[in-house]
Every structure is written in C-alpha cells, then in structure tokens.
A = this chain, B = another copy of it.
Amino acid sequence: MNDQRKYVVSCQACSLNALCVPHSLTESEVAIVDAAVKRSKPIQRNKTVFEAGDKFASLYTVRSGAVKTYSVDQEGDEHVIGFYLPGEMFGLDAISSGQHISSAKALETTAICEIPYNRLEELSAQIHNLQTHMYKLLSHEISEDQQLQLLLSKKTAEERIGNFLLGLSSRYRLRHLSPTSFRLPMARTDIGNYLGLAVETVSRIFTRLQKSNILQVDGKEVRILDQHRLCAVAHVDDADLFHGHGHGTLAAGVHAEPIRVGNIRKF
C-alpha cells in the first residue's frame, strides 16, 4: 500500500494535466473522471500492458516513460504500430471488437493510467465536454493514421525519418521538454519497423544526417542541430511544425489546427 501510494497522484495534481485532461472540463468534471482512473505502480521495460487477444476493458494513458504498440503475425514477426509518450492515450483500436488486436509494451520503466471503458462511456453520456473530447480524440487518431499512410506510401526513407524526428520533437516540445535534444525511447529496429524501413537504412540515414551537420546522434541521444534543414529533408514546411504531430490525448484536437498535408515526393 505504502509502496503504491507514492506513485499515486490525482488528475488534478498531475503534471500532464494540461496535456491529458481536456482543459474545457470543469474542475468538478475532472474530479469525476479522476475517480474512475486507476493508477498502478510503474511497470518495467518490456513488460506488456495488454496483449493481442486480451479482452478489452480499459483505455490507457502514459503517465511517464514510453510505450509501443505492435502486432505479431503468423510467422512471428513483429509490426510496430505506434509509440506513446506521457499524456498520450492508447488502446483505442480495441473498442470496436471488444478485444485487443494489438499488444502494448513498455519501452522503458513506465507508469500507466487506466480508465475502465464502461465507465468512460457512461461519463461521456453525462459530461458533454467529455463526449466532445472523446470524439475528437478518436477522430484525431484517424487523421494521424491517414497522415502516416501517406508517409508510408509516398515518401522516401529520408523523408520518413525526418518526419519521424520532427514529430518526436513536436511532442517533446508540447511536454515542455527540449525539442532539439532528446532521447529516443525505442530501438533502431523499432523505428525501422514502424516506418517500413530496414534497420540498416535507419542507421545509414542517421549517419548521413549527422555528416551533414543536421543531426547529432549518440546512441539513443539525438540533438537536432539544424531544424530548418531537417524540415527541408523531410519536405515539411517549418510553419507546420507546431501542429498535427503526436498521438491522441484527451486534449487532442482541442488545440489542433488544420493539418497541412503537403510535401510528398513526386514520382
């Protein structure tokens, strides 16, 4: 009990508050949501939150650490679906079938908030702001998935990695962490898998960007030395940098701007 208590915070006191809880919820509404949230103690690297086939019962958000979701095919090969940072919600794909179709695993020591889906459904019928936000959250995830499809179907390896790094950068900025200097929570293999590239390609492009003095890479530590040129490499307009990146959170869509879709490689 004591052991657990030190990890337990309320939504009201949580530092991710602004990111995770809709700011349009009133204090009392947040309190109601808060009462439904289960906070367990941190789980270790490589421990799963849920696995494909598990009964769907809850949605999850990352409190600290990082999570990847993935599926495993018949041949036993893993396919990375997404990465989640503090304040981001995952497990949304399981609502439709009532069963998890992907697995979720901690990339490092990670604390998770769990919100029982039944309860969330009830609450969203009562709290209009919550319903609005859940719809936006789900819709936002769809938009981002479609953006990723575009990335995967039309962009070069360099563009994919550029976009990926800029996306992470944005997400760290939102969390008031350095957008230019951060640690990749995932392995190169995971990055390649996620972006549809061979590990070797990821590696080569990292070193290429390093040689161009756009990036400084030391293992998982990354420093963006020249954001402007990184944008150029990724074919991303600098002006778009502050929008559209990152996974859904309860607040997703609230701050969202129309997402520019441009910058695709011509064939």
Contacts and interface: CB of A to CB of B under 8 A. Distances in A.
Interface string A18-57: 0000000000000000000000000000000000110000
Contact of A92 (B79, B101, B139): B139
B131 A263 contact: no
Contacts of A217: none
Number of copies: 2
B125 A131 contact: yes
A266 interface: yes
Contacts of A99: 258
Given A132-B121, A149-B149, A154-B196, A92 B142 contact: yes
B96 A139 contact: yes
Contacts of A237: 74
Contact of A262 (B73, B139, B141, B260): B73
Interface in A115-153: 121, 124-125, 128, 131-132, 134-143, 145-146, 148-150, 152-153
B125 A74 contact: no
14 contacts: A52-B261, A74-B262, A92-B142, A93-B142, A93-B143, A94-B139, A96-B139, A96-B252, A97-B143, A101-B143, A121-B135, A124-B131, A142-B145, A149-B152
